[in-house]
Structure 1
Amino acid sequence: MSDYYQAAIERFGDWLETARADERIIDPTAMTLATVSADGQPSARMVLLKQVDTSGFVFYTNTRSRKGAQLADNPKAALVFYWEALMRQVKVEGDVQVVSDAEADAYFASRPRLSQIGAWASHQSEPLESRAVFDTRVDSLEAEYAGREVPRPPHWTGFRVRPHWMEFWQGRDGRLHDRERYFRDAAGTWQWVLVNP
């Protein structure tokens, strides 16, 4: 593993811990996830980071959702973390892989029960006739799984963004920001460069 890549992941971990320790930041794991459809239309939304290490950045979702469909068509993504109180931003770009069933099962089992029910009840990104229809599905599923574990839906799993490009931005007065980029070059070797603000 490249020293520069290791350094980038460790730096991200340090910045994330600093954000977690800052009471001004409501959800330090919130990140913008950008995907692109098969016809080239970009789309972005907020999701939550659930794991990060040298294997990549992991989030979970319904594979039938818009983002799930786009990742199936084009398994590449970009992430943006922005911690305004710290004047810090991290951007990540990379290829995307589905996590193992064991990883998805373990994380699903750790979720609050209502979130587990919701993963079954929601036909994510599809039109909904009314809120009452959705609430009825939730009630029905709660009755179905009363007194027993809720299994992970086959259409719900995790995705791992495996970086090939990361950039750290530290805001400064007068827009004289610090920007440092870590990236994998054409030969597959990780590099580091300072970037103009």
Structure 2
Amino acid sequence: MSESELTSGDFTEESEPFALFATWLKDAEAAEVNDPTAVALATVDEHGMPNVRMVLLKGFDRQGFVFYTNFESQKGREILGQKKAAMCFHWKSLRRQVRLRGEVEVVTDAEADAYYATRPRGSRIGAWASKQSRPLEGRFALEKAVAEFTARYAIGEIPRPGHWSGFRIKPLSIEFWHDRPFRLHDRIEFRRSSPEGAWEKVRMYP
């Protein structure tokens, strides 16, 4: 991608961040070799210690950014406890980054059911078999659990576990960054005081 494309009017003139994110994600889907929807998810535990890990973005709109997980996992417990999270997308081949943070809500059962139904059968079995983030005494124990649930749901649909659903981050800030020579990068931040508030756009020093 050329420098002129990186500094297009969409970046400097856009007054609403979700449309700009849609454009950047579309560019990433065309340019990134692996997982353009991969994103670093940051949470905080009950002691105020941060945690970060990679997840996959499964949807977004003007309501927020959605991903799915086991609510009994470390990230699930931390988000349910704090109701806040942050994300960072880094598309290295495009020299672009998007950071966002905000409040978190649980998606509706209908949303979770609809997405769960699209997952491969093995992934749906895995949602039942894995006690995510808890100690595993050996690989055999996991394989045994997979075999047990495979036998249990050998025929018909595999229901969504009650502990498996999705979170929606409702951002209070979204920052768009792209690389420029001599580390004089472009940074535009969109801010609002509440998930229902109007956006303010601020250009930031690199």
Do they superpose with TM above 0.5? yes
Matched with 1:14 is 23
**1:189 Cα deviation from its structure 2 partner:** 3.4
- Give structure 1 regions of 4+ aligned residues with deviation exceeding 6 angstroms: none
1:121·1:138 contact (CA, 8 Å) conserved in 2?
Answer: yes
Matched with 1:193 is 202
Matched with 2:8 is none
* 1:62 and 2:70 matched: yes
Q: How far does the alpha carbon of each residue in 1:104-158 deviate from its partner, in whole angstroms, 9 at most, with x for none?
A: 0010001000000000000000000100010011011111111211100000000
**1:185 Cα deviation from its structure 2 partner:** 4.0
Say which SS state the counterpart of residue 43 (structure 1) adopts: strand
State, as a whole percentage, how many aligned pairs show the same letter: 50
What RMSD, in angstroms, separates the aligned Cα atoms of the two structures? 1.7
| Distance across 1 between alignment mates of 2:198 and 2:128 | 42
Q: How far does the alpha carbon of each residue in 1:19-68 deviate from its partner, in whole angstroms, 9 at most, with x for none?
A: 0011x431100000000012101100000000010010000000000001
Equivalent residue runs for 1:21-60 within 5 Å: 21-22=30-31, 24-60=32-68
**What amino acid maps onto 1:141 in structure 2?**
F
Normalising to structure 1: TM-score of the pair?
A: 0.94
Normalising to structure 2: TM-score of the pair?
A: 0.90
Matched with 2:3 is none
Equivalent residue runs for 1:55-94 within 5 Å: 55-94=63-102
Provide structure 2 residue ranges, at least 5 long, that are not aligned to the other structure: 1-12
1:5·1:190 contact (CA, 8 Å) conserved in 2?
Answer: no
Say which SS state the counterpart of residue 147 (structure 2) adopts: helix
Report how many aligned residue pairs link the two structures.
Answer: 193
Say which SS state the counterpart of residue 102 (structure 1) adopts: helix
Matched with 1:103 is 111
2:16·2:199 contact (CA, 8 Å) conserved in 1?
Answer: no
* 1:131 and 2:139 matched: yes
1:88·1:170 contact (CA, 8 Å) conserved in 2?
Answer: yes
| Distance across 1 between alignment mates of 2:49 and 2:14 | 30
| Distance across 1 between alignment mates of 2:116 and 2:153 | 15
Say which SS state the counterpart of residue 104 (structure 1) adopts: helix
Compared CA separation, residues 99 and 154, structure 1 to 2 (3 A): same
**What amino acid maps onto 1:93 in structure 2?**
R
Say which SS state the counterpart of residue 25 (structure 2) adopts: helix
* 1:142 and 2:150 matched: yes
Provide structure 1 residue ranges, at least 5 long, that are not aligned to the other structure: none
Matched with 1:162 is 170
Matched with 2:10 is none
1:5·1:182 contact (CA, 8 Å) conserved in 2?
Answer: no
**1:73 Cα deviation from its structure 2 partner:** 0.9
**What amino acid maps onto 1:16 in structure 2?**
L
